Structure 1
């Protein structure tokens, strides 16, 4: 029994020492009961790969087989963490949420490109967005946080909303056009930059997502043939540079991201 205790003590000491290495992979927040649930979006134009932190705890990361933080794996522009219809969980409290370059990056290691202070509560959901245009001189970009007031699960319908993360565009209306019936449904009105519409019911189906400036008939951004499934909840988030055509494959073009909340 004494020998087992000695071995356990050595193992714990080794773990502590390893976790203190300069470039060691930091543990993402430990599993907890309850807590606040968050999703993280890197939608800042030209932003580098980053990891998200809540105070000094990394809350987004890629796995490593070497024990050293990757310089190239993280949350890149246009990526979301978690990418599935789930949230990451942290204990309730007040945090400085940071977007930070990997410690092993060859350019700007450990540089914080955005910070938000926010109190998050047990049982609540939140989405943090990097947005705006990444400034290569100041190494900074915009960020904002949305309280995700999720509706009750409804097995007969879906829920959708619009989040506006396009820094150089005016307020938008979101219209969803059913590709079978051609019926148009207005689901978000006058949604300004760094804000979101409320979640709205929409029948299951396949839709074209259409953005129009509030009070105007012209289609500004379109995403075609998006499937919406009952019992699910979706955030349609606008990112990119509104001065570019939304068609084609240019990375910074205006684009409506489709991320399930659940």
Structure 2
């Protein structure tokens, strides 16, 4: 009889361990409690950073997928969490900071950007470091936008444009269907440090086009052949130096990032 008790205990322990694995099935029928935020390190020439809420490191905390960022931090052009998830935080008002890792050989623990922001329960946000990293003051621009996510639409996708390019004027954001050639204006004039509302668009493959409102037929930045899948929500964010050509492989070229919000 004692052996049977031991066997039952082992089986129960095995079940618990298996259910705790990060690839175990999760209950997603209820909304996540708390404020949710994504972090974009888009400051031009920005160093690797970690993101903090007051003095608590956020970009090394578990995301809703159970993954963690690299111990070295979030590099330029990277996003945390890197998946279509958000970091979950207790609602409140915070000094949100981008800070050099303490293990960095250059300027350890240097705060390069700070913004005071109130994060509300049940709402989603995105923080962007942006602008040109100043090597003298060791700072860069930063801004926060609310991600007013629309209801999931099983027949279409939702997209928006975020302007994080410090030396570019307001842009009109256009999506051109590569099959039909039809152009759709998603956002007519979006200025630096701001975001358009989410826009419903049919599933398909699109060229992403930016034009200045004053020159509505001249393409300034283009990203070709981006797939948009129904039921999903995307942020298309401009980063880089607008004085450089968008073609080629230069790290600092103007580039339209594609990050799913969910």
TM-score range, shorter chain: 0.7 to 0.9
Report what 2:236 is aligned to.
Answer: 236
User: Residue 221 in 1 paired to residue 221 in 2?
Assistant: yes
Aligned-partner Cα distance in 1 for 2:97–2:136: 18
Conservation of the 8 A alpha-carbon contact between 2:60 and 2:70? no
Report what 1:254 is aligned to.
Answer: 254
* Alpha carbons of structure 1 residues 71 and 205: separation in structure 2 relative to 1, 3 Å: closer
> Unaligned regions of 5+ residues in structure 2, if any?
1-31, 63-68
Aligned-partner Cα distance in 2 for 1:48–1:167: 17
Report what 1:145 is aligned to.
Answer: 144
Conservation of the 8 A alpha-carbon contact between 1:71 and 1:102? no
Conservation of the 8 A alpha-carbon contact between 1:62 and 1:74? no
* Alpha carbons of structure 1 residues 147 and 62: separation in structure 2 relative to 1, 3 Å: closer
Conservation of the 8 A alpha-carbon contact between 1:72 and 1:105? no
Report what 2:114 is aligned to.
Answer: 115
1:17-96 matches, within 5 Å, as 34-61=33-60, 73-96=72-95
Q: CA RMSD in A?
A: 1.5
Task: After superposition, give the CA deviation of every residue in 1:161-206 in whole Å (9 maximum; x if it has no partner).
Answer: 0000000000001110101111110001110000011100010000
Aligned-partner Cα distance in 1 for 2:71–2:168: 31
SS in 2 for 1:73: coil
Aligned-partner Cα distance in 1 for 2:140–2:172: 25
Taking structure 1 as the reference length, what is the TM-score of the superposition?
Answer: 0.83
SS in 2 for 1:151: coil
Aligned-partner Cα distance in 1 for 2:254–2:60: 27
Report what 2:191 is aligned to.
Answer: 192
1:139 deviates by 0.6
Task: After superposition, give the CA deviation of every residue in 1:22-47 in whole Å (9 maximum; x if it has no partner).
Answer: xxxxxxxxxxx611000000000000
Report what 1:18 is aligned to.
Answer: none
SS in 2 for 1:176: strand
Q: How many residues align?
A: 224
Aligned-partner Cα distance in 2 for 1:169–1:204: 29
Aligned-partner Cα distance in 1 for 2:90–2:164: 27
1:259 deviates by 0.2
Task: After superposition, give the CA deviation of every residue in 1:220-252 in whole Å (9 maximum; x if it has no partner).
Answer: 000000000000000000000000000000000
Aligned-partner Cα distance in 2 for 1:253–1:148: 26
* Alpha carbons of structure 1 residues 150 and 144: separation in structure 2 relative to 1, 3 Å: same
Taking structure 2 as the reference length, what is the TM-score of the superposition?
Answer: 0.83
1:147-186 matches, within 5 Å, as 147-186=146-185
Conservation of the 8 A alpha-carbon contact between 2:83 and 2:260? yes
1:71 deviates by 9.8
SS in 2 for 1:181: coil
Aligned-partner Cα distance in 2 for 1:197–1:236: 10
1:62 deviates by 8.8
Aligned-partner Cα distance in 1 for 2:139–2:60: 21
